[in-house]
Structure 1
Amino acid sequence: MAFKNDLKRLAMPYYWVNLLLTFSYILGKKIVPICELIFPDKTECGEIDMRESEILFFLLIVVVMRARKTGSMSMVSYLSSSFIYTKGANLILWFYSDTKLGIAYGAIFILVGLLLPEPTYKGPENVTYFRGTDLEEEIKRDKRITWIVTFYTAWNPSCVNFAPIFAELSNQYGLENLRFAKVDIGRFPEVAKRFRIDDSSLSRQLPTVILFKDAKEHIRRPDIDTSNKLHKFYFSEDNVKAAFDLNNIYNESKNNPLKSPKKSKKLQNGTEDDHIKSE
């Protein structure tokens, strides 16, 4: 099922256009008709020289290391986290081959970034979106409600990849007293500071998921120990379920539903009526 979903996502223009940009230099060198059209010196066609091979090998190492750091678990996640590096390497290769070709590729690089942003999840979800301090006010309003909150930015690939997972979890486990929420700390940086989350472009804390119980922070992933060391966390569905003990929290919340004021008033009136009747 996950593989089919990945294939559907790869059919979106963002992915196949970026894949073309990723392999543009290799395709331009290896496909002879294209190579003869691009390069005036036809002796370059069909061959990758030593310097180009070194750049490609270095790119491979960077992509693998970066994917491991971001915790990419699926094919689409690997691609999303690697596009910026693969396109950067292609930019270097095109400039290395011909300055004009490098400038042309750079212009296409920027144009694609402006016109084709990474697609965000638009499926069904049971998630509340908060603005600024609204989150803390709502958490404190009723301590009986358990909140699971994702702090994210729209531009971070790991946050984008986690969005459908969080949406699915909200559909599976959402209750009146077990609620899911999100805050875009890219738009509200003061919230990031309040909850000690680094929202910079090099941050390893994106996304951050915090479980609030009794209006207090109960569990956080990725978490930071007493020595201020950040512990890496892979945001897969199974890992999130295990880390936040969602099955037990769901059963506990379901067995202790919130009593609405109307029901409580009816019960109270019913008790008073019974008392009057007995008299």
Structure 2
Amino acid sequence: MEVATATEASAPAASGAAARQNHPFPWLDSAISEPYYFLHLLAFFSYFAARSAALSADDGGELHDRLLRREIQAVLVFLVLFVVKIVKEETWETFLADSLLYAKGLLLAVTLVINYWLTLGYFLGFVVIYAVAQQPPYDGLGHSNHLTPLQLESLLTEEPTSRFWLVEFRTSFSATCIQASSVLPELSNIYSNKNISFGIIDLGHFPNAAAKFGISMWDHLPTYILFDKVTEVARFPEVTSESKVFVPKVTKKLLCQHFDLDRRLIEYLST
């Protein structure tokens, strides 16, 4: 009964993801339908209107040359950072977040050539966007399920078909959680079997569960815990004084090594 409930809870997200994948231009659909991306597009396109107005008011033509040089420099810097991020980043959400951050910084640098007040206006505009809109998380689930704490407890104590459960505890208001939101679903596509299952609990909906599992709502999110039936056998990040100073970025490779998922898969396949 609990497994069916968990699967039903994941159905709306799965159908939404399928609808976007069937869209002929999914990136355009996201850019228009998601306020976070739409507001950023408006902000960036508004630069061309501000640029035209500034150049039309320039009598000597000096602004045009200085602005063009600064724009070329900004585009070249962005392209270099863009290529570096493509090579280094593992998740699309992190890549988009970092690319937008660099683009906003370079836009502010370019607008300094036109007018300091214009730069201040864009800065305040980006602050407002940050306050009213949020980057959407990855909406696919793979072979993982959205769970409630009660469902997880029932699955750990009553479900005999899966010995291990790897559970991600996240919140929808954490940028780190959003940027890592595709990691667990992608791992579940690779490693999910009758011996290990994957689940996601949103602590924003169940804040009381944070204390139960020893998780801080403000530090170390997302947190991943591997359960062997009802026993916690490993977690990331580990609760140590050192981990509070530095927590490495969540990646599929990092979690795979930390929880030894390759060995668990081999053991399952050899039985």
- After TM superposition, the score normalised by the length of structure 2 is 0.61
- Which aligned pairs between 1:73-222 and structure 2 lie closer than 5 A? 73=90, 76-80=93-97, 83=100, 97-98=116-117, 102=120, 106=124, 110=128, 114=132, 117-123=134-140, 125-142=142-159, 145-200=163-218, 203=219, 205-222=220-237
Moved more, 77-86 or 131-140: 77-86
Shift of 1:18: 2.5
Per-residue deviation, residues 24-71 of structure 1 (Å, max 9, x unmatched): 77x678x4x2423699999766658xxxxxxx9xxx9xx9xxx9xxx9
State the match for 2:54 in structure 1: 35
Name stretches of at least 5 consecutive residues in structure 1 with no aligned partner: 1-7, 49-55, 257-279
Deviations 1:84-134 (A, max 9, x none): 79769978988x8338x85687467636864x6423323351112122343
Q: Answer whether contact 2:147 2:200 (CA < 8 A) is retained.
A: yes
1:18 alignment partner, one of 20, 40, 52: 40
Measured in 1, the distance between the counterparts of 2:57 and 2:209 equals 50
TM-score by length of 1: 0.59
Q: Distance in 2 between matches of 1:186 and 1:72?
A: 27
Q: Contact 2:156 / 2:230 at 8 angstroms: preserved in 1?
A: yes
Higher relative contact order (CA 8 A, sep 6+): 2
Alpha-carbon offset, residue 198 of structure 1: 2.4
Tell me if the contact between 2:169 and 2:203 (Cα under 8 Å) persists in the aligned partners: yes
Q: Secondary structure at the match of 1:98?
A: helix
Percentage of identical aligned residues: 23
Q: Is 1:238 equivalent to 2:256 in the alignment?
A: no
1:234-276 Cα shifts (integer Å, max 9, x gaps): 32222222221112212334555xxxxxxxxxxxxxxxxxxxx
RMSD over equivalenced CA pairs, Å: 4.6
> Which consecutive unaligned segments of at least 5 residues does structure 2 have?
1-24, 68-73
Residue 140 of structure 1 and its aligned partner are, at CA, apart by 2.7
